[in-house]
Chains A and B, each alone.
Chain A
Amino acid sequence: GAGVSQSPRYKVAKRGQDVALRCDPISGHVSLFWYQQALGQGPEFLTYFQNEAQLDKSGLPSDRFFAERPEGSVSTLKIQRTQQEDSAVYLCASSLALMGNTEAFFGQGTRLTVV
């Protein structure tokens, strides 16, 4: 596809369930980011990949959050034992360049609701 694709668009999980969110970046984009956006807030950084290497995971809120990008393209964000405070929109973005100074293209996001 032409843009960043995320699936599912919506996910409802019962508290304690594990969820997996998928991101298909733009083909050829080296950098991939995951952001968490709570209602009424700006996106907050979770983690960053350069190709398959996870270079920064400082934004992951707890060890229940895990992200991977094994072949340097598709990425999965996994949340184990979901809690209500995990409810948010999870945005994925990709960019072409290796380091700053470049625009990032965002997917439509996955809205996670934990009940």
Chain B
Amino acid sequence: EDKVVQSPLSLVVHEGDTVTLNCSYEVTNFRSLLWYKQEKKAPTFLFMLTSSGIEKKSGRLSSILDKKELFSILNITATQTGDSAIYLCVKGGATNKLIFGTGTLLAVQP
């Protein structure tokens, strides 16, 4: 079965902390690895990674992919309460089917 596994399942931190979210995936039909943030209902796109070792950054968020070890990490530095959300790791496959992990629930306390 095609799986995307995220860890931790949930995380509680204080404002200003740095967090690292992990994602591992199976190599079958791999095309891309995507990260989404889900606050209410609609997941919003953060990053798409296709090449190993190239870090993508957007403000305090960054992500990198390791295609040899089949994992990705999402880093958030200087966390803010607005970062509280579910972070979804998604594998994009050759069939255009997106395979979602169960997500990491991040709670940032003031």
Q: Which residues of A contact B (CB under 8 A)?
A: 4, 31, 33, 35, 40-45, 48, 50, 55-56, 59, 89, 91, 93, 95, 98-109, 111
List chain A residues, Cβ under 8 A from B94: 99-100
Look across to chain A and name the residue whose beta carbon is closest to the beta carbon of B105: A40
List chain B residues, Cβ under 8 A from A48: 95-97
B100 with A100: CB separation less than 8 A: no
List chain A residues, Cβ under 8 A from B101: 42
Contact with A along B28-41 (1 / 0, CB 8 A): 00011010100011
Seed contacts A33-B98, A93-B98, A101-B48; 7 additional CB < 8 Å A-B pairs: A33-B97, A42-B88, A42-B103, A43-B43, A56-B97, A98-B96, A99-B96
Total A-B Cβ pairs within 8 A: 76
Q: Which residues of B contact A (CB under 8 A)?
A: 4, 31-32, 34, 36, 40-45, 48, 50, 88, 92-103
Look across to chain B and name the residue whose beta carbon is closest to the beta carbon of A3: B42
Q: Can you list 21 pairs linking A and B with CB atoms under 8 Å apart?
A: A4-B42, A33-B98, A35-B100, A42-B101, A42-B103, A43-B100, A45-B98, A50-B96, A55-B96, A56-B95, A56-B96, A98-B96, A99-B31, A100-B32, A100-B94, A100-B95, A100-B96, A101-B31, A101-B92, A102-B32, A109-B41
